[in-house]
A and B are shown apart, each in its own frame.
Chain A
Amino acid sequence: MSAPSNQDLQQYRSYLLRYALLQLRDHDLAEDAVQETLLAALEGRAQFSGRSSHKTWLTGILKHKIIDVMRRKSRERPLTSGDDQSEADAIDTLFKADGHWQRFPASWGNPEQSLENKKFWEIFELCSQLMPARAARVFMMREVMELTTGEICKELAITPTNLWVILHRARLSLRECLEIKWFGGAAK
């Protein structure tokens, strides 16, 4: 594949912005990361090797830009480890003392059908925004940027045990929201 033109790059703009927003949850920061990505891509166009698609290449640049933004942000407001207990507590509230679910996860039927429903994606977006901030950040690093657990621990200076707890909290939160707002409701 040949080096991308300006037009090629612009066509990925909305994709890059959605990606950055999922991770950064702040429109201005996401916009900055996308601008920097497009600029770096234009300047580095000659180095495009053609071994990957334009989209993959841009995504690779964007990931670095997002991590830069997160580093800058965490210097201003670091992730405190004091939240660990509250995350474990939040998980505890979903279970009884004997370890049973407070409310058993319901069957979502054939959830894949929802993927074709525009309304579902509005709920999905809402639920991802409602996730607790720290849990969401870690979850998106794992699920959106697809970093390894080792990379995430290193980047955030947290232990693997912390990481499991935070990811678990994030998943339980997203699950609960989708069940209440979509799968359990009339919208099914």
Chain B
Amino acid sequence: MLSCKEVSVLLSQAQEQPLGLREQLGLRLHLVLCQGCANFRRQLDFMRAAIRRYRDGDAAH
């Protein structure tokens, strides 16, 4: 079973490129059991969206 640290690395890598099948499986197994890492995954997507919105000047400022 993957540790949270390993999962965090994979989730970050998944922002760049598709993961292999085995990695995806390990990830899914971990994420159903670990709310902290599931939160982290959502936060990565959010941060990416936020920085692009900031860059493009669509932010409320």
The number of chain B residues touching the other chain, given as a range, is 20 to 34
Chain A residues near B20 (CB, 8 Å)?
A: none
Q: Which of B8, B42, B52, B60 has a CB less than 8 Å from the CB of A143?
A: B52
Interchain CA distance A22-B57 in the complex, whole Å: 12
Closest chain A residue to B39, Cβ basis: A105
Name 28 A/B residue pairs within 8 A (Cβ), A-sorted: A18-B55, A19-B55, A101-B4, A101-B5, A104-B35, A105-B36, A105-B43, A106-B39, A108-B46, A111-B46, A115-B53, A116-B60, A117-B60, A118-B60, A118-B61, A121-B60, A124-B50, A124-B51, A128-B51, A144-B52, A144-B55, A164-B9, A168-B13, A171-B12, A172-B8, A175-B40, A175-B44, A175-B47
The chain A residues found within 8 Å of chain B, CB to CB, are 14-15, 18-19, 22, 91, 95, 98-101, 104-108, 111-112, 115-118, 121-122, 124-125, 128, 142-144, 149, 164, 167-168, 171-172, 174-175, 178
